[in-house]
Structure 1
C-alpha cells in the first residue's frame, strides 16, 4: 500500500469498507454496479487483482473505468500497472476488448453504458494534470452515440465534466479535477440526448445539473464521509425519474467511530491545502493573513465532501464570507445549488429524485 503522510484518504479501511458496502448491496435487487475510477490507491497490481476477483463473486454485474490513482504512469513499473494492462484485469467488467481502454455495452435491454478513459500521459509516461479524451476516443464515442438511437445512455468518466465547485474550470486548483475538453464531450452528449453522467476524482458528494444533463459524482469509500449510492431509474407514463439514496460506512473493525475519526484525519491534513486556496487566485491573500484564517477552515473540505453543506464564518470579513458561501449547496440568489422540478430549495447532493426529460420529447 503506497503511503503518504499528507494523504486525505484513510486507506487502512479499504477492505472492511468495501466488504460492508458489498454486503449491503448484495441484499438488494440490483441490476448492476458502477465504479467510476480510483479502484486502488496507487495502481498496485496486487490490489487490481484482488478487486477483479472480488467483483467476480457478486450476484450482479459490475462495470469499472480507470481513475488517476489506478494508472499513475502510462507504463507499468515494479509497483503499479500501466494503461495497457488495466483492461486486461477487468475483461469481465466492461472491457470485452482488452486492447482498448474504453468500451460500450448494453447492460440491460435498451440501456447502454459507455465507459471512457480520461487519463492522459506525456511522451515520458507522466500523468497529465487534467483529464482529456483523445481524438481517437472522441471519434469512437461519436460513432457509438450515433448508433444508440432510442436507448437510455449512461456515461462513466473519471474526471468531472460539469462544474461541482464555483468556477471550477477557471481555478487552477479545480481545473485538475476536470476534463479539459469537456465542451466537446458535452456537445456530443446533448446531440444524443444523453442525460446521466457518473464521475469520481473529486471525492465529494455532489450532483451538478446543466440543461437536461445531470452529473453524479460520488465520494470515496476511504475518505469522509465514506459514501456509496443506490439509484433507482423509473420510466413511467407520467415521468422518467432517477431516485438517489446515499449510504455511509460509519464504523469498521479498529475504527468504531469511523465518521468522526476520518473527519478529524482530513482536518489534521487540511492546513496546507487551505493556505493554498487562500493565497492563490482569486483570493490572493498574503500568507500572514491566510495563516490567520486557515484554522477556521479546518473542516471546510470535509464538509464539501459530505455534500449539502452551507458555509458561514462569522470571524471572516464580508467579502471573504461571500466567497466561501459559494461552495455551499446554495446559489447567490439563496436557492439550492441544483434543484429538481417542484423541489426548489431542497438539497440534492445525497438524497434526491431527479426528473429526466423523456427521450421522445
Structure 2
C-alpha cells in the first residue's frame, strides 16, 4: 500500500496560523510515502507568502510534489503576470512548476495548469497547453511499471455542484491522454470543496487545507491510498485545532 497526503489551497496570506502545526502533526501520524500539494500555496503571490509556503514545505514529513495554482501568479503586477508570472515560484519554491517524484512503485507527476489570461472572463480557470500535455505524456511513459498519479491545481472534471464553473482549456484532451496511459488518479483543488472520486481516471478534489476561505466544508486534507484496486480517499477535517476523519464530501 502506498500512501499520499494530498493538500490544496493553502493560501498563505489568508491562512489560519493556528492550524499549521496541528496539520503537520496530523499528516506525520499517517507516515505518508509522499505529499502532493495541488496549488494555491499563496493568496496574492507576494514574497512574504511564498516565504511562508517554502517554510511549510520544508517542515513536512515526506517528499513533496507541489504545483502552482492561479493565486500563485500575480494578479495586480500586470507586467510580471504577462511576461514572467512564475518568477516568484522559481525563486522561493522550485525551479520547475512540473516536478516529478519517483519512488518504488509510485510516480507523482506535476502538471502546471495555470494560465496568465483566458479567452473568457474567468481567468482563474486554467488550461493545459499542447506543450504541457506532451511533457506530461513523456513523464508518464518514463514512469512505466509504477502507479502514476498526476497533481494539477485545476480539476479536469467538475462535480455537479460546480457545473457553472469554467473547466480548464484542453481538459478533454488531457483526460484522454491520462486515461489512455492508465493514470491511477488526478489530485486537484481549486474549488475548495472535497469530492468523491470523479470519473476515469478518478479526479480527487481536496478542500482548502489552511485558508479561511472555506466553502461550507471545514479545512481538510486527504489521505489517498494506492494498492491493487481503485484509490481509497480518507478525508480529514479540522475541528478546532484537532484533525479528525470526516464523512462530508460534496
Give the TM-score of the pair, scaled to structure 2.
Answer: 0.79
Find the counterpart in structure 1 of residue 98 from structure 2: 102
* Whole-Å separation in 1 of the counterparts to 2:98 and 2:107: 14
Higher relative contact order (CA 8 A, sep 6+): 2
Partners of 2:189 and 2:235 in 1: CA distance: 15
Pick from 36, 39, 42: which aligns with 2:38? 36
Q: 1:136 — aligned with what?
A: 131
How far off its partner does 1:179 sit? 1.4
Q: Does 2:75 correspond to 1:87? A: no
Out of 222, 229, 240, the position equivalent to 1:251 is 240
User: How far apart in 1 are the matches of 2:101 and 2:28?
Assistant: 23
Q: 1: distance between equivalents of 2:198 and 2:175? A: 12
Match of 1:182 among 171, 184, 187: 171
Deviation at 1:129, TM superposition (A): 4.2
State the distance in 1 between where 2:168 and 2:51 align.
Answer: 28
Asked if 1:191 corresponds to 2:180, the answer is yes
| In structure 2, distance between residues paired with 1:50 and 1:68 | 18
Residue 226 of structure 2 is aligned with which of 233, 255, 258?
233
Deviations 1:105-133 (A, max 9, x none): 31x1131111111111149xx98342111
Answer whether contact 1:113 1:154 (CA < 8 A) is retained: yes
Pair member with larger Rg: 1
Partner in structure 2 of residue 271 of structure 1: none
The verdict on how the C-alpha distance between 1:156 and 1:27 changes in structure 2, with shifts beyond 3 A counting, is same
Aligned partners of 1:32 and 1:60 also within 8 Å:
yes
Q: Distance in 2 between matches of 1:44 and 1:11?
A: 8
CA 1:150–1:22 in structure 2 vs 1: closer, same or farther (change >3 Å)? same
Distance 1:57 1:181, change over 3 A: same
Question: Could you tell me which residue of structure 2 aligns to residue 279 of structure 1?
Answer: none
Give secondary structure in 2 for the equivalent of 1:24. Answer: helix
Within a 5 Å distance, the mapping from 1:55-204 to structure 2 comes to 55-73=57-75, 76=80, 82-91=85-94, 98=95, 100-106=96-102, 108-122=103-117, 128-165=123-160, 168=163, 171=164, 174-175=165-166, 178-204=167-193
Q: 1:24 to 1:139 in 2, by over 3 A?
A: same
1:5 is aligned to none
The alignment status of 1:220 with 2:222, answered yes or no, reads no
How many residues matched? Answer: 226
Question: What runs of 5+ residues in structure 2 fail to find an aligned partner?
Answer: 1-10
RMSD after superposition: 2.9
Distance 1:122 1:27, change over 3 A: closer
CA contact (8 A) 2:12 2:43 kept: no
Change (3 A) 1:150 1:191: same
